[in-house]
Amino acid sequence: MNANEQIVMKEPASRSWSRWIKFDARAYTMIGALLSIWVLFTLLNDRFLSATNLSNLFLQMSVTSILAIGMVLVIVAGHIDLSVGAVVGFTGGVAAILNIWYDWPTIPVIVATIALGVAIGFVQGWIVAYGAVPAFIVTLGGMLVYRGLLLGTTGSVTISPFSPAMRTLGASYVADMIGWVLGGIALACTAIYYWRKRGARRKYGFPVEPAPLSLMRVVLVGIFVLGFVFVMNSYKGIPVPFVMVIVLALIFTFISKNTTFGRQIYAIGGNAEAARLSGINIRRKTMYVFVLCSALAAIAGLVLAARLNAATMNAGNMYELDAIAACVIGGTSLMGGAGTIVGAIIGSLVMASLDNGMSLMGIPTWWQYIVKGVILVLAVYLDINIRNRKKVI
Amino acid sequence: MTVALEMSGITKRFPGVVALNDVNFTAHAGEVHALCGENGAGKSTLMKVLSGLYPSGTFEGTIRIFGEEKHFHGIKDAEKAGIAIIYQELALVKGLTIGENLFLGQEPARYGVIDWERVYHESSRWLADVGLSDVSPEQIVGNLGIGKQQLVEIAKALSKNAKILILDEPTAALTEQEVEILLGFLREFKKRGVACIYISHKLNEVFEIADKVTVLRDGRTIGTYPISEVTEDQVISLMVGRELKERYPRKEATPGDVVLRVRDYSVMNPEIPGKKVIDNVSFEVRKGEILGIAGLMGAGRTELAMSLFGAYAGASQGTVEVEGVPVQIRRPEDAIKLGIAYVSEDRKKYGLVLGMDVKSNVTLASLRSLFSLGLLEQNKEIASGEHYIRSLRIKANSVETVVGTLSGGNQQKVVLGKWLLTKPKLLILDEPTRGIDVGAKFEIYNIMNELVREGVAVVMISSELPELLGMSHRVMVISEGRLTGVFDAKQATQETIMRAATGGNANERE
């Protein structure tokens, strides 16, 4: 207690490191779980940690990750979106129609597809926020409508193949050199971020963490980033969809942590009445959350269609459940008010690792379903019971 | 008359508080026995002890029903002994039919299959007993008016063969006509030998219906008196008769310009069409003064405040002027922009996001003005949080402490900080010291003084009369939605306030 109280007081940079390292039990448990899954699969099959397979793994998790980013916001605001899977299918179908049947070039196709996602989000968000219909119902209805629209517009046939430019969206790799450059930029940004943070804290007279600790953080990030680039480059390079995941995750982490909009979403999910009495326009913000979620679903739809090089009838089927599972495994509370983008990404990595590892071992599909289901429930069970224990103490 | 109920030496402790201290209470069959006391005097706690909600063993003292000592381990036990309670908030399932409600939990069934014929047949008999013979027992309860729902509650109590009927503020939501019907039934039950315990703030009703009155104050029995031997004024002074123990650091007022002027303001009850929760109220608040608002629970004080803040569901009529300019406040955003802040009486429900930390709660109502570009500047936010931690002396480890882990007094200070950050011209405090300890109370009084000195107009709603008289400069009293008096706090006494709060002066009645 005493050590913590001192944080409130002004004092120059302190020698003690321990106070600067926050122990987030949940985050460590999540990463620990992921690593143990990886170790387990590596022991069972040494191909699991090969560059080829890891590259595949990151490619596979991309679509779910993009969906999970939007889903986190929706769940944090206290709602749910069951329609994202169908939106993935529908928007992918529309992109295929525009690109293949009407020969639209890549950029207009991307813009039109995302615009379609935004429009879908506006409609659903409006009904939830202003029409006061539960999101579960609105998006369940939406799921049926968009699946139906997909079948109707495409005439229930698989549309293929995309133009080569479109395909880069889902199935290409960043060249080795560019991979290194991206890694370098990421590292430089991290260093600049810590540097500026120290400066800003000094300006406000807050204590600043010891310089060697900041340096250590940057070095750790560096090892992680450059190691990742190295492994990916030893196969074909970083998959383009995964670069998109990283960029989107950064953007949305920024939105959730550093904008008033993000703060308001968490406040609405945490206590809608208190948020309302604090002058927050709950309805409008809720609608925007659905817009963002559907727009991300449209991006996921583009990536999936480009990766498969086709728009198929059952594209995105049940993806909403993968996205929700990823969020929940990543520590998002279905009660609203709590959850992080990073958690959801790790959650989808857990789900993708299970899929990938079990397929690699040739475990039959029916077993895979059972294992994933059990893991989902187990993760939430542990999370809730760890949290409850904290409350008692 | 036989003694139906005898509670003796009842002591009930909560952590840090003695809610009931050696309370004795006796009720006879065939009488209406009123239980009076200020908010927090211990009436509800006593009834919770009696109804088994606080099971035997969690309190000291004995309960005898018709001479036989009882140990209730739950509500079911108390029901079996013939005790039925009708709560302030109705305890009916609104979506079920009258019959389903009457037999809830004790449906007549064979092999688990409900005998609906019997349910509805017997229900209509009970309904006829409470004068609802024209109402079908297959009606959905939610479709009935509040008055009729109350009668259904009574029918439910009767169906359980209640010998002791407890009514907790039964008329709070009723119209005058419905009150008359209810009182008529109470007289009927009296004749049948039921012991009725009548809890009410409305002394005129108490004097109309009760045979005896027992007064509770600060968890103690002050005395039991036959109604014919006391006057309303005597009961009031028995209710409030405590000494001013706490000190109130009131500063002299230097009232300036009018900040808020409210004229002919009425607020409709959003659930009962046609019933007003605030009826034609006019008042003004000036810069640099504290206006106290007194009234009993359910008088409409909170509804008035929420409505002025744009946060109440019921529609309003009348004019509101802020600094001489007529305004329309439809949503809390509008109020905040005009410089009005409202600290709710229920900080957990309306004030705080409990899972968020101190700084995020403090800045929640000022996000737009603090961060004009929509980008949170963490350091600015931490600075705001630390400012209030220091100036309001919030005992928190850091600005990143989750508010759910703070004590009540410190949570209240966080809510205060949140509203002070909006730089209000008018600060409405609704029960600002409820549930917090004496030390924190004193600090909140000092904060109020500081604000008044800075020229903020403060409105304080409080149920604690000594606090109202000690801290405010003027006290306005609301009774059943109507303004029944405005007093200079220095000249007013607890008795005059209580008289106005219990429905005006005796001269108005015949």
How far apart (Å, rounded) are the C-alpha atoms in residues B508 and B225? 25
Interface test with B, best of A7, A251, A260 (most B CBs within 10 A): A260
Shortest Cα–Cα distance, A372 to chain B (Å):
30
According to DSSP, the residues that pair with A113 across neighbouring strands are none
- Residue A100 DSSP label: I
**Among the ranges given (A303-307, A381-385, B413-417, B476-480), the one the predictor scored with the smallest mean pLDDT:** A381-385
Whether A260 sits inside 8 A of B364 (CB atoms) is no
Average pLDDT value for residue range B76-102: 84
Task: Say if residues A173 and A238 touch (Cβ distance below 8 Å).
Answer: yes
Whether A276 sits inside 8 A of B355 (CB atoms) is no
B1-82+163-170+194-243 has which fold? Rossmann fold (3.40.50)
Task: Output the pLDDT for position A21.
Answer: 66
CA-derived radius of gyration, chain B: 25
Average pLDDT value for residue range B380-399: 88
- The architecture (CATH level 2) of B258-339+424-508 comes to 3-Layer(aba) Sandwich (3.40)
How far apart (Å, rounded) are the C-alpha atoms in residues B136 and B26? 38
Task: Output the pLDDT for position B89.
Answer: 64
pLDDT surpassing 50 at residue B177: yes
> Nearest residue of B to residue A391 by CA position?
B405
Task: Say if residues B341 and B424 touch (Cβ distance below 8 Å).
Answer: yes
Residues in chain B closer than 8 A to A257 (CB atoms): 376
Interface of A with B in 334-353 (CB under 8 A): 337-338
Amino acid at site B215 = V
> Nearest residue of B to residue A198 by CA position?
B379
- B319-339 pLDDT per residue, tens: 999 999 999 999 999 999 999
Paired sense of beta strands B212-217 and B220-226, if any: antiparallel
How far apart (Å, rounded) are the C-alpha atoms in residues B416 and B450? 13
Task: Say if residues A344 and A76 touch (Cβ distance below 8 Å).
Answer: no
> Which of B370, B417, B401 has its CA nearest to residue A260?
B370
Percent of chain A with pLDDT over 70: 91
- B350-375 pLDDT per residue, tens: 999 999 999 999 999 999 888 888 88
How far apart (Å, rounded) are the C-alpha atoms in residues A115 and A87? 12
- B451-460 pLDDT per residue, tens: 999 889 999 9
Task: Say if residues A136 and A320 touch (Cβ distance below 8 Å).
Answer: no
How far apart (Å, rounded) are the C-alpha atoms in residues A195 and B319? 55
How far apart (Å, rounded) are the C-alpha atoms in residues B119 and B107? 7
Average pLDDT value for residue range A214-222: 89
- A113-125 pLDDT per residue, tens: 999 999 999 999 9
Average pLDDT value for residue range B68-78: 88
> Which of A183, A166, A148, A211 has its CA nearest to residue A306?
A166
Task: Output the pLDDT for position A2.
Answer: 40
Average pLDDT value for residue range A139-167: 94
Domains and their CATH numbers in chain A? 46-172+240-392 (1.10.3470), 173-238 (no CATH)
pLDDT surpassing 90 at residue B264: yes
**Among the ranges given (A160-169, B248-257, B398-407), the one the predictor scored with the smallest mean pLDDT:** B248-257
How far apart (Å, rounded) are the C-alpha atoms in residues A225 and A219? 10
Task: Output the pLDDT for position A196.
Answer: 87
pTM of the model: 0.80
Give the Å distances, CA to CA, from B247 to A175, B172, B219, B443, B465. 77, 33, 21, 12, 13
How far apart (Å, rounded) are the C-alpha atoms in residues A153 and A148? 9
Whether B350 sits inside 8 A of A273 (CB atoms) is yes
Residue of higher predicted confidence among B400 and A3: B400
- B184-225 pLDDT per residue, tens: 888 888 888 899 999 887 788 889 899 999 999 888 899 999
Indicate the residue of A203, A273, A279 with minimum beta-carbon distance to B336.
Answer: A279
pLDDT surpassing 60 at residue B437: yes
Residues in chain A closer than 8 A to B429 (CB atoms): none
Whether A276 sits inside 8 A of B379 (CB atoms) is no
Task: Output the pLDDT for position A19.
Answer: 65
- B399-419 pLDDT per residue, tens: 888 998 887 888 999 999 999
- A47-99 pLDDT per residue, tens: 898 999 999 999 999 999 999 999 999 999 999 999 999 999 999 999 999 99
- Mean of per-residue pLDDT scores for chain B: 87
Percent of chain A with pLDDT over 90: 68
**Among the ranges given (A143-147, B20-24, B42-46), the one the predictor scored with the smallest mean pLDDT:** B42-46
Residues in chain B closer than 8 A to A204 (CB atoms): 379-380, 382-383
Indicate the residue of A1, A201, A267 with minimum beta-carbon distance to B379.
Answer: A201
DSSP state string for B137-156: TTSBGGGS-HHHHHHHHHHH
The confidence band for B51, taking pLDDT boundaries of 50, 70 and 90, is: confident
Task: Output the pLDDT for position A118.
Answer: 98
Interface test with B, best of A193, A204, A257, A271 (most B CBs within 10 A): A271
Indicate the residue of B331, B363, B375 with minimum beta-carbon distance to A259.
Answer: B375
**Among the ranges given (A3-7, A266-270, B386-390), the one the predictor scored with the smallest mean pLDDT:** A3-7
SS3 B293: strand
pLDDT surpassing 90 at residue A244: yes
- A9-56 pLDDT per residue, tens: 344 444 566 666 665 667 777 888 889 999 999 999 888 989 999 999
Residues in chain B closer than 8 A to A277 (CB atoms): 309, 311, 332, 342, 344, 350-351
**Among the ranges given (A166-170, A176-180, B41-45, B492-496), the one the predictor scored with the smallest mean pLDDT:** B41-45
SS3 B145: coil
Q: Tell whether A282 is within 8 A of chain B (Cβ).
A: no
Residues in chain B closer than 8 A to A1 (CB atoms): 397
How far apart (Å, rounded) are the C-alpha atoms in residues A331 and A224? 23
Shortest Cα–Cα distance, A258 to chain B (Å):
5
Q: Nearest 10 degrees: CA dihedral of A50, A51, A57, A63?
A: 180
How far apart (Å, rounded) are the C-alpha atoms in residues B412 and A168? 56
Shortest Cα–Cα distance, B367 to chain A (Å):
6
Tokens of A30: 């999540």
Shortest Cα–Cα distance, B331 to chain A (Å):
7
- Angle (CA) B309 B406 A25, round 5°: 120
Task: Output the pLDDT for position B460.
Answer: 95
Question: Which residues does B contribute to its contact with A (CB < 8 Å)?
Answer: 309, 311, 331-333, 335-336, 342, 344, 349-356, 360, 363-365, 367-368, 371, 374-376, 378-380, 382-383, 386, 389-390, 397-399, 418
Residue of higher predicted confidence among B437 and B491: B491
Average pLDDT value for residue range A353-375: 91
How far apart (Å, rounded) are the C-alpha atoms in residues B59 and B293? 35
Task: Output the pLDDT for position B212.
Answer: 93
Average pLDDT value for residue range A193-203: 85
B1-82+163-170+194-243 and B258-339+424-508, same CATH topology: yes
Residue of higher predicted confidence among A234 and B506: A234
Residue B249: is the preceding peptide bond cis (ω within 30°)?
A: no
How far apart (Å, rounded) are the C-alpha atoms in residues B462 and B459? 10
pLDDT surpassing 50 at residue A294: yes
Average pLDDT value for residue range B180-187: 85
Amino acid at site B163 = K
CA-derived radius of gyration, chain A: 22
For the beta carbon of residue A30, count every other beta carbon within 10 angstroms.
23
Domain ranges of chain B: 1-82+163-170+194-243, 85-161, 258-339+424-508, 354-421
> Nearest residue of B to residue A280 by CA position?
B333
Residues in chain A closer than 8 A to B419 (CB atoms): none
DSSP state string for B431-467: STTTT--HHHHHHHHHHHHHHHHTT-EEEEE-S-HHH
Task: Output the pLDDT for position A18.
Answer: 65
Starting at the edge strand that comes first in sequence, how are the strands of the sheet with B60-65 ordered? B17-28, B3-14, B60-65, B68-70
Tokens of A343: 């958690």
Whether A277 sits inside 8 A of B386 (CB atoms) is no
Whether B368 sits inside 8 A of A338 (CB atoms) is no
Phi, psi (5° rounding) for residue B507? -60, -30
Indicate the residue of A1, A258, A277 with minimum beta-carbon distance to B311.
Answer: A277
The confidence band for B239, taking pLDDT boundaries of 50, 70 and 90, is: confident
Is the ipTM higher than 0.95? The answer is no
The confidence band for A6, taking pLDDT boundaries of 50, 70 and 90, is: very low
